[in-house]
Amino acid sequence: AGGGRLIDRIRKWYYNAAGFNKLGLMRDDTLHEDDDVKEALKRLPEHLYNARVFRIKRALDLSLKHQVLPKDQWVKYEEDHPYLEPYLKEVIRERREREAWNRK
Amino acid sequence: KRFYSLKVAPKVSASATAAKVKLSPESQGLEITKLPNGLVIASLENFSPASRIGVFIKTGSRYETTTNLGTTHLLRLASNLTTKGASSFRITRGIEAVGGSLSVHATRETMAYSVECLRDYVDTVMEYLLNVTTASEFRPWEVADLQPQLKVDKAIAFQNPQVGVLENLHAAAYKNALANPLYCPDYRVGKITSEQLHHFVQNNFTSSRMALVGIGINHSTLKQVAEQFLNIRSGAGAPGAKAVYRGGEIRKQTGDRLVHAAVVAEGAVVGSKEADAFSVLQYVLGAGPLVKRGSHVTSKLAQGVAKATSQPFDVSAFNVNYSDSGLFGIYTISQAPDAGEVIKAALNQVKAVAQGVVTDADVTTAKNQLKANYLMSVETSKGLLNEIGCESLVSGTHTSPSAAAQKIDSVATADVVNAAKKFISGKKSMAAAGDLGNTPFLDEL
């Protein structure tokens, strides 16, 4: 239990050090958009997709003005949901299945 | 031996109260069991190298409501979408890899999912079949990608004018249920959601309304499969509305030179004695050509209409039976200027039969034609599977071919005349398509 908490503290420190939460972004907003991610984004339900587009727009605006959000609006480590992860996992699983079939 | 890899598989112990249905000795090899949850399992072991298995469900376009029209059409197209046990890609490739095929056939009252393959690979395709019928996920993006296919499917089907006329005929003849179209209405394409598909399946694909039928497979295998995997949804599901006949007419002016017209009255319910009489009447009047490019010698309708016009035409009796209603009448295809004469001549022929102008020889010929048609349709494994499946759904038992032939023989000439009288006196419905300038309305016939 103690070891688990230590890993969590390191994770939290790294998350805050990375800094994208200061622009109001979640981790899944920052994923590099390769083919798998593009396909997973096509499958996102509408409300999640709209929220993502809003956050990215807001971050672009802040970056252009060389500003960050006020401290109380930074995304907290506990509140960061990996919303894209289930869809992304499924896309990758399907791609691997296709490749396995084609190899046989 | 591990047959199936469905993730959703409630363990049900073999029920001691599964009732075996007693069949006449002529139905050799055919075994039917009815499980306590209502599922009927039928199998015929004919030792053929290819097996054919079907899941028949008592659902169809009649169980739709005005809020979810087109759901069954999309379900027909959605048989290869991802399920809980296999992805869409895997279903397609898996079935192809063993040389099998999966198809869906739906009428207004029955849906049949059937697979066929070589006997050795029955386990594989059976797994996919059960996945598709019980555990389909209808993922929103897959359903959305499938909707344009509705348009393509409809366009291909409507190339045949008969399809349009029959859809209109049902819409004109009934107020609800059976009036629902088999093909998705245009305004619903793109609007059918995954939730509606799920809802429809939950309410209609229930054990008591299903039959699992196999040809070329042994009964105990099928029974084991059914008890383990087709127990997912029990109960009777949502009941369909009772079809109410109203008798209307729908005309579609298209400007085509050939006019297709159907005039019908309410007919017989499937399985009733009246249905046999109407079937014989259909063949007395003429139900399609028996000799290609022949002169339809035995068809009363064709002979009668030939006296009324010298232009090319086609006419046959139309007969369809549903579980609580039926339609019987005539279907004519004629040149646009002649349409009125053709329809009137055809109706006069039926009137003549209703007045008794029909000999015993005519009736015997008709019975022979009907018997031959029926027996030939169950010669193929596809026809036989459909026949066993539909009958299992309706009555849970099977009528052997010889018993069916006897039923046909027991129809008397008087029954045929009564059937014709019922048509003449019944409230008519009509559907017509083409250049309708010379096509009479219902009240002019």
Domain boundaries, chain A: 2-103
Domain span at residue B219?
A: 31-230
- By the 8 A CB rule, do B283 and B366 touch? yes
Contact at CB, B93 and A43, closer than 8 angstroms: no
Residue pLDDT, tens place only, B186-240: 999 989 999 999 999 988 888 888 999 999 888 888 888 888 887 777 777 777 7
Residue B372 shares a structural domain with residue B285: yes
Chain B residues with CB under 8 Å of a chain A CB are 87, 89-90, 93, 139-141
- By the 8 A CB rule, do B429 and B264 touch? yes
Contact at CB, B89 and A94, closer than 8 angstroms: yes
- B14, part of any domain: no
Instruction: Name the residue in chain A with its Cα closest to that of B140.
Output: A43
Q: How far is A81 from chain B (nearest CA, A)?
A: 22
Are β-strands B210-215 and B40-44 bridged in parallel, bridged antiparallel, or unpaired?
Answer: parallel
Q: How far is A40 from chain B (nearest CA, A)?
A: 10
Residue B275 shares a structural domain with residue B316: yes
Interface test with B, best of A39, A43, A95 (most B CBs within 10 A): A43
Residue B51 shares a structural domain with residue B101: yes
Q: What is the mean pLDDT of chain B?
A: 86
Question: Which pLDDT does position B8 carry in this prediction?
Answer: 41
Question: Which pLDDT does position B197 carry in this prediction?
Answer: 92
**Chain B contact set for A97 (CB, 8 A):** 87, 89-90
Buried residues in B210-221 as b, exposed as e (16+ CB within 10 A): bbbbbbbbebeb
For residue B308, the domain's CATH number is 3.30.830.10
- B22, part of any domain: no
B160, exposed or middle or buried, with CB in 10 Å at 0-12, 13-18, 19+? Answer: exposed
Residue pLDDT, tens place only, B244-258: 899 889 999 998 899
Question: Which pLDDT does position B251 carry in this prediction?
Answer: 92
Question: Which pLDDT does position B277 carry in this prediction?
Answer: 92
Residue B262's φ and ψ, nearest 5 degrees, are -130, 130
- B445, part of any domain: no
Question: Which pLDDT does position B296 carry in this prediction?
Answer: 76
The dihedral over CA atoms of B254, B171, B210, B20, expressed in degrees to the nearest 10, equals -110
Question: Taking 80 as the threshold, does the pLDDT of residue A97 lie above it?
Answer: yes
Question: Which pLDDT does position B25 carry in this prediction?
Answer: 60
Residue linked to tokens 């029920």: B15
Question: Which pLDDT does position B9 carry in this prediction?
Answer: 41
- B293, part of any domain: yes
Q: How far is A43 from chain B (nearest CA, A)?
A: 6
Tallying the residues shown for chain B, one arrives at 445
Residue B214 shares a structural domain with residue B310: no
Question: Taking 90 as the threshold, does the pLDDT of residue A15 lie above it?
Answer: yes
Residue B329, CA distances (Å) to A45, B19, B305, B372, B415 in order:
51, 40, 15, 22, 16
Question: Which pLDDT does position B183 carry in this prediction?
Answer: 92
Residue B198 shares a structural domain with residue B272: no
Query: In the CATH scheme, what is the code of domain A2-103?
Result: 1.10.1090.10
Total structural domains within chain B? 2
Contact at CB, A101 and B93, closer than 8 angstroms: yes
| β-sheet bridge partners, residue B253 | B434
Question: Which pLDDT does position B270 carry in this prediction?
Answer: 87
| Residue B237 Rama label (left phi>0; alpha psi -120 to 50; beta) | left
Contact at CB, B141 and A43, closer than 8 angstroms: yes
Residue B223 shares a structural domain with residue B291: no
* Contact status of A101 with chain B (Cβ, < 8 Å): yes
Question: For chain B, what is the HEC assignment?
Answer: CCCCCCCCCCCCCCCCCCEECCCCCCCCCEEEEECCCCCEEEEECCCCCEEEEEEEECCCHHHCCCCCCCHHHHHHHHHHCCECCCCHHHHHHHHHHCCCEEEEEECCCCEEEEEEEEHHHHHHHHHHHHHHHHCECCCHHHHHHHHHHHHHHHHHHCCCHHHHHHHHHHHHHECCHHHCCCCCCHHHCCCCCHHHHHHHHHHHCCHHHEEEEEECCCHHHHHHHHHHHCCCCCCCCCCCCCCCECCCEEEEECCCCEEEEEEEEECCCCCCHHHHHHHHHHHHHCCCCCCCCCCCCCCHHHHHHHHHCCCCEEEEEEEEECCCCEEEEEEEEEEHHHHHHHHHHHHHHHHHHHCCCCCHHHHHHHHHHHHHHHHHHCCCHHHHHHHHHHHHHHHCCCCCHHHHHHHHHCCCHHHHHHHHHHHHHCCEEEEEEECHHHCCCHHHC
Residue pLDDT, tens place only, A57-78: 999 999 999 999 999 999 999 9
What average pLDDT does range B323-329 have in this prediction?
90
Q: How far is A34 from chain B (nearest CA, A)?
A: 19
Question: Which pLDDT does position B300 carry in this prediction?
Answer: 86
Residue pLDDT, tens place only, B33-75: 888 888 899 998 888 888 999 999 999 899 998 888 999 999 9
Question: Which pLDDT does position B273 carry in this prediction?
Answer: 86
**Chain B contact set for A101 (CB, 8 A):** 89-90, 93
How many A-B residue pairs are in contact by the CB < 8 A criterion? 14
Contact at CB, A42 and B140, closer than 8 angstroms: no
Q: ipTM of this complex > 0.90? A: no
Residue pLDDT, tens place only, B279-298: 999 999 888 777 777 777 77
Contact at CB, B141 and A94, closer than 8 angstroms: no
- B252, part of any domain: yes
pLDDT bin (cut points 50, 70, 90) of residue A3 is low
Question: Which 3 state secondary structure label does DSSP give A51?
Answer: helix
Measured CA to CA, the distance from residue B226 to residue B120 in angstroms comes to 19
- B237, part of any domain: no
Residue B9's φ and ψ, nearest 5 degrees, are -145, 85
Residue pLDDT, tens place only, B132-179: 998 899 999 999 999 999 999 999 999 999 999 999 999 999 998 889
- By the 8 A CB rule, do B212 and B32 touch? no
Half-sphere exposure of A101 (CA within 13 A, CB side): 16
Question: Which pLDDT does position B53 carry in this prediction?
Answer: 93
CB atoms closer than 10 angstroms to residue B228? 18
Q: How far is B145 from chain A (nearest CA, A)?
A: 11
Of B89, B139, B141, Cβ closest to residue A98 = B89
Question: Which pLDDT does position B18 carry in this prediction?
Answer: 60
Measured CA to CA, the distance from residue B317 to residue B321 in angstroms comes to 13
- B267, part of any domain: yes
Residue pLDDT, tens place only, B329-349: 999 999 999 899 999 999 998
What average pLDDT does range A4-26 have in this prediction?
91
pTM: 0.85
**Chain A contact set for B93 (CB, 8 A):** 101
Write the CB contacts of B34 (distance below 8 Å, at least 6 apart in sequence).
B18, B19, B21, B40, B41, B396
pLDDT bin (cut points 50, 70, 90) of residue B379 is confident
Residue B269 shares a structural domain with residue B223: no
Of B87, B140, B141, Cβ closest to residue A97 = B87
CB atoms closer than 10 angstroms to residue A56? 15
**Chain A contact set for B141 (CB, 8 A):** 42-43
Question: Which pLDDT does position B31 carry in this prediction?
Answer: 85
Contact at CB, A97 and B90, closer than 8 angstroms: yes
Instruction: Name the residue in chain B with its Cα closest to that of A39.
Output: B141
Question: Taking 70 as the threshold, does the pLDDT of residue B26 lie above it?
Answer: no
Instruction: Read off the DSSP letter of residue A44.
Output: S
Residue B344 shares a structural domain with residue B304: yes
- B300, part of any domain: yes
Q: How far is B141 from chain A (nearest CA, A)?
A: 6
